[in-house]
Structure 1
Amino acid sequence: MRPLPLVACLALVSPLPFAAAQDAGQPALAAEAAPATGNPESGRQLVYTCQGCHGITGYKNAYPSYKVPKIGGQSAEYLAQALHEYREGKRRHPTMRAQAQSFSDQDIADIAAFLSTLK
């Protein structure tokens, strides 16, 4: 392995140009983006596919041995977390994973905001 030239070594230990901008009062970049704020009205338009399993009055699931949870009225935080976990593959229901993968972070926040308002 060839040793690095002295200039390259100094570049590794000297402050980077963008660090000076942060010291000059510029806000630092957040490690994680803040969670999206949900809009219930937008969420109302997105939940049409959810109703088939989770919310039609009198609906009987095609899989009698599989219980489908009621999601209306759950907390927005719980619903958003569940959808993110399905999307990331941490929860393993193929239909829910496919649904969640089609949603953006904003979509998930909107859906969770709407469903949390239901009784």
Structure 2
Amino acid sequence: MKKFLTMLTLAAGMTTLHAADLKGNALAARDKVAMCIGCHGIPGYRTAFPEVYHVPKLGGQNAQYIENALKEYAKGNRKFQTMHGIAASLSDQDIADIAAYYSQQTAATPPNPDK
């Protein structure tokens, strides 16, 4: 039993280390953000489904905030059906890359520059 608990503890620690070691790659995200630009790339955009909602610009936002928000949408803890569907389709690496991409921009950066 002691051996089993030790192995379980080590496995849990390795999973935590792997998740913490994930580094976002802004360049890798350039093709991944196409689904984001349709709403988040339009100044002053408001959605009409499932409710009227002012869509925030993401450029310049803190990477950790974006990662946390996407993970919360994926789990369903943040309630917005469109974002849940998108976030649930992303891997942890996709989320880290997208967060890095937007954190390196400003609110004035045009969507997907130099593409």
**TM-score for both structures, normalised by structure 2:** 0.73
Alignment gaps of 5+ in structure 1: 1-11, 22-27
- State the one-letter code of the partner of 1:52: G
Please name the residue that 1:40 is paired with: 26
Sort the Cα spacing of 1:102 and 1:60 in 2 relative to 1 into closer, same or farther, 3 A.
same
Please tell me whether the aligned partners of residues 29 and 94 of structure 2 are also in contact (alpha carbons under 8 angstroms): yes
Give the length in aligned residue pairs: 98
Identity of aligned residues (%): 42
Sort the Cα spacing of 1:17 and 1:102 in 2 relative to 1 into closer, same or farther, 3 A.
closer
**TM-score for both structures, normalised by structure 1:** 0.71
Sort the Cα spacing of 1:59 and 1:52 in 2 relative to 1 into closer, same or farther, 3 A.
farther
Sort the Cα spacing of 1:72 and 1:89 in 2 relative to 1 into closer, same or farther, 3 A.
same
Cα RMSD (Å) of the superposition?
A: 2.5
- State the one-letter code of the partner of 1:61: R
Alignment gaps of 5+ in structure 2: 107-115
What per-residue deviation string (whole Å, max 9, x for no partner) do you get for residues 62-81 of structure 1? 53942111111101000000
Max Rg structure? 1
In structure 2, distance between residues paired with 1:92 and 1:17: 39
Match 2:72 to one of 85, 89, 96 = 85
What per-residue deviation string (whole Å, max 9, x for no partner) do you get for residues 50-94 of structure 1? 0111113x5743539421111111010000000000001110100
